[in-house]
Structure 1
Amino acid sequence: MSVSIGQPVEDFSAEATGGQPFTLSEQRGKQVVIYFYPKDSTPGCTTEGGDFRDNSEAFAAANTVVVGVSRDGIKSHENFKAKQGFPFELISDRDEAVCRQFDVIKLKKMYGKEHLGVERSTFLIDAEGKLAREWRGVKVPGHVEEVLAEAQALNG
């Protein structure tokens, strides 16, 4: 089961920061950016989250909700969110259900060893719940600006 452009994204509900689960279907009528990242408080993930934070008003103006997803636990997420001042929620995907739904668990190499990890990826879902755009194997510099431009164009 994976997502594809132009198709409805299957509903999911997952544990998130802020004390409430995040449920995709509850976002209907708004666009949703779901960004997957490898790990809380690492340099690339902190930069990417900061870029989403710094553009949060522009996303809100484009009727777009932003949510981050990694396999870290809620306590780690709450600390990361508070420390970085993120105005959006982070989903804890310990069982990798959301990661598998979006097919972002990939074989990665670190220090010569292979392991399964989260491939940095972003998905833009339109106000009707259909996948409008996807970015896989994301490089952080300039990425959030590109996602924002797509969200604004889609909302226009």
Structure 2
Amino acid sequence: MAVALDQPITDFQAQATSGQQISLSALQGQQVVIYFYPKDSTPGCTTEGQGFRDRYAEFQAANTQIFGVSRDSLKAHENFKGKQQFPFELISDGDEALCQLFEVIKLKKLYGKEYLGIERSTFLLDQHGVLRQEWRGVKVPGHVDAVLAAAQALQQR
């Protein structure tokens, strides 16, 4: 079943960096930002991750956990996370279970060739696991600021 605004997200479990198994049910009581990105160590994905890294303390102050998701392997994620010093975990979604749940796999074009890839998207869940805001087809500049403002506003509710 697809995600919908103001509806609870189906509980999921996923492998993440630092040997962690992430489940939505274990995050109850905290707001959650899940951002999907196409590929580790590419310019846009690096810039986006650095934005979340640089504002991490402000997200923490808003009781918000951050998770980056792509189809890259855990090994690639560990390298990317370490090189960029990300204080948050990256989820490996090689089987595309999360990508399908959030419907972020889209037909894309590169150099005239079509392929299925991750559409850069971000989702903000409240402390009960309810989807409160989504950003699809994200452009990186200014995006982290918008997500942070939404997380802070949601915490005030």
- Give the TM-score range, shorter chain: over 0.9
Structure 1 residue matching 2:124: 3-state secondary structure: strand
Cα distance in 2 for residues equivalent to 1:16 and 1:33: 15
Cα distance in 2 for residues equivalent to 1:86 and 1:20: 15
Shift of 1:22: 1.1
Q: How does 1:7-156 map to 2 (within 5 A)?
A: 7-156=7-156
Cα distance in 2 for residues equivalent to 1:111 and 1:19: 37
Deviations 1:62-110 (A, max 9, x none): 0000000000000000000000000000000000000000000000000
Q: Given residue 46 of structure 2, which amino acid in structure 1 is its aligned partner?
A: T
The runs of at least 4 consecutive aligned structure 1 residues that moved more than 4 Å come to: none
- After alignment, is 57-66 or 19-28 more displaced? 19-28
Shift of 1:146: 0.2
Structure 1 residue matching 2:4: 3-state secondary structure: coil
Cα distance in 2 for residues equivalent to 1:127 and 1:14: 19
Please, what TM-score do these two structures have when normalized by structure 2? 0.99
Shift of 1:129: 0.7
Cα distance in 1 for residues equivalent to 2:90 and 2:22: 9
Deviations 1:103-125 (A, max 9, x none): 00000000100000000000000
- After alignment, is 72-81 or 17-26 more displaced? 17-26
Cα distance in 2 for residues equivalent to 1:23 and 1:146: 25
Structure 2 residue matching 1:128: 3-state secondary structure: coil
Cα distance in 1 for residues equivalent to 2:22 and 2:39: 19
Shift of 1:39: 0.1
Structure 2 residue matching 1:58: 3-state secondary structure: helix
Structure 1 residue matching 2:69: 3-state secondary structure: strand
Cα distance in 1 for residues equivalent to 2:67 and 2:104: 15
Unmatched tracts of structure 1, length 5 or more: none
Please, what TM-score do these two structures have when normalized by structure 1? 0.99
Alpha-carbon RMSD across the aligned residues, in angstroms, is: 0.4
Shift of 1:21: 1.0
